[in-house]
Amino acid sequence: MKNKSRDRKEFLAKGRALILAALDKGFTTRKKIGDACGLKTWQVADILKHDENLWAQYTMHRKTLTDLAADNIQDILEDPNHKDHFQASKYILQKYKSDFDDSFESQQDEGLQIGSGEGKSVKITFTKD
C-alpha cells in the first residue's frame, strides 16, 4: 500500500541530495540544476521551498553572481585598452557616489550627452533647451 507522506519525504530527501551535488558542480540556475538532476524546474523550486538549509545554500551561490559581475566590471575599468572601458567608467560614475558628487552640481541630463563615437573616439554633445 502506498504512503503519500513517505513518498513525499523520500522525494524531498533524494531531490535535496541531487540539488546539493548540482550546486557543488557549479550549476546555479533552476533550469541547469534540473537538467543535471533529471528534475523539472518546478520540482527543483518545490524542493528548494521545503528545505530551508538548501534554500540558503542556493541563494548563497546566486549571490556570488553579483561578486562575479563586479569583478568583471573592475577588470574592464583597470584595462584602458578594453573596448568597453569608457562604457564601464560611465556606468560606475552614473550609479555610484564619487568625489565628483561633492565637487560638482548636477544639471539636467538633457543638457549633456556622452556617448562613444565611431572607433575609439568619444562624442560629447551639448544641447540647449
**What does pLDDT average to in each consecutive run of 10 residues of the chain (129 residues)?**
85 94 91 95 94 92 85 92 90 76 61 60 66
pLDDT given for residue 46 in this prediction: 94
Which residues contact residue 54 at a Cβ distance below 8 angstroms, ignoring those fewer than 6 apart? 16, 19, 20, 47, 48
Which three cell numbers, joined as nine digits, stand for 127? Answer: 544641447
Q: Facing residues of 124 across strands?
A: 114
State if pTM tops 0.75: no
Q: How many other β-carbons are positioned within 10 Å of the β-carbon of residue 32?
A: 15
The rounded percent of the chain whose pLDDT value lies above 70 is 74
- How high is the pLDDT of residue 93? 82
